[in-house]
Amino acid sequence: MTGPEFGERAVYLARHDAVVLADAHVGRGEASAVSLPLGEREDLVDRLGALAARFDPATVVVAGDVVHTFDRVSDRSLGTLNALREVCDGVGAAFELVAGNHDVALQSAWEEPVREECVLDAGATRTVVCHGHEAPSTPADRYVIGHVHPTIEIEGDRRPCFLRGEGVYRGADLLALPAFTRLSPGVAVNDMRTGAFDSPLVTDADRLAPVVVDSDAGEAGEPLRFPPLGEFRGLL
């Protein structure tokens, strides 16, 4: 299977011509009275725009926890989602939303389908994108999830990371994405054991290898690949 190409808190699956990100948590800034220097909407739109310009995908998938608040989706949050959709429209990409545990109110607020899973087929290869809080119903060669918000901490510096494992869930590969929102501190996975991940797809945490993208290195920066967590813990 063709390996993923890592971007800033998102991944490009070349075989499917799809960019996948997770845990945008649109509206978190509004709900918590916390804002980034450019504002939440501008930050999300700018970074998705950079991914769209870099990869020119046919599809962009948000793998759950699209919005932050459970009970309602504010007009401001809908405006942000529409701005993200406009980024996708600008490169001719479909904009697919997958429901996460936060997205209780999203289905009724969003005018297009919100899927439980997004199935990406390419010949003999199938990737299923789901949030990761529940077991998927569709068999696949690879599962891409959010929900975990993984980071690794090295010498006091916490960095968002991907977690990648081959054949670790039902014999399929697993890729857990960092939170796309920069308002989430994330969860340091250095010492986490399997049960602490709160995802039925994480069945053996020791086999998951962290991958870190150095956002300061630009597009030319090579991802930093670490040993699986079972080995990584002993190096710290």
- What does the pLDDT look like over 121-162, one tens digit per residue? 977 889 999 999 999 999 999 999 999 999 999 888 899 999
More confident residue, 24 or 34: 24
Q: What is the mean pLDDT of residues 10-24?
A: 97
pLDDT for the residue numbered 132: 96
pLDDT over 70 at 56, yes or no: yes
The residue assigned the tokens 């998951």 is 208
DSSP string, 128-161: EE--SSS--SS--SEEEE-SS-EEEEETTEEEE-
Q: What is the mean pLDDT of residues 57-77?
A: 91
Q: What percent of the chain has pLDDT over 70?
A: 92
Q: Work out the pLDDT band at 34, boundaries 50, 70, 90.
A: low
Which residues does residue 162 pair with via DSSP β-bridges, in sequence order?
Answer: 211
What is the rounded distance in angstroms from the CA atom of residue 15 to the CA atom of residue 4? 9
Which residues does residue 163 pair with via DSSP β-bridges, in sequence order?
Answer: 176, 210
pLDDT over 70 at 204, yes or no: yes
DSSP state of 205: G
More confident residue, 36 or 44: 44
More confident residue, 3 or 77: 77
Cα–Cα distances (Å) from 111 to 2, 97, 104, 219, in that order, read 34, 11, 15, 34
**85, two tokens:** 């959709």
Would the CA dihedral through 53, 55, 57, 59 be positive or negative?
negative
Question: Residue 131 corresponds to which amino acid?
Answer: H
Mean model confidence pLDDT for the chain: 91
pLDDT over 90 at 227, yes or no: yes
pLDDT for the residue numbered 155: 81
What is the rounded distance in angstroms from the CA atom of residue 211 to the CA atom of residue 194? 18
Q: What is the mean pLDDT of residues 71-86?
A: 93
Contact 144, 128 (CB under 8 A): yes
Containing 87, the helix (H) or strand (E) segment is helix 75-90
More confident residue, 40 or 174: 174
Which residues does residue 63 pair with via DSSP β-bridges, in sequence order?
Answer: 98
Helix (H, G, I), strand (E, B) or coil at 113: coil
pLDDT over 70 at 1, yes or no: no
CB within 8 A of 136, min separation 6: which ones? 117, 128, 130, 143, 201
Q: Work out the pLDDT band at 221, boundaries 50, 70, 90.
A: low
Q: What is the mean pLDDT of residues 9-26?
A: 96
What is the rounded distance in angstroms from the CA atom of residue 163 to the CA atom of residue 208? 6
Query: Residue 37 phi/psi, 5° resolution?
Result: -55, -35
Q: Work out the pLDDT band at 217, boundaries 50, 70, 90.
A: low
Question: Residue 228 corresponds to which amino acid?
Answer: P
pLDDT for the residue numbered 173: 98
pLDDT over 80 at 182, yes or no: yes
pLDDT over 80 at 218, yes or no: no
Would the CA dihedral through 200, 201, 203, 204 be positive or negative?
negative
Which residues does residue 19 pair with via DSSP β-bridges, in sequence order?
Answer: 12, 60
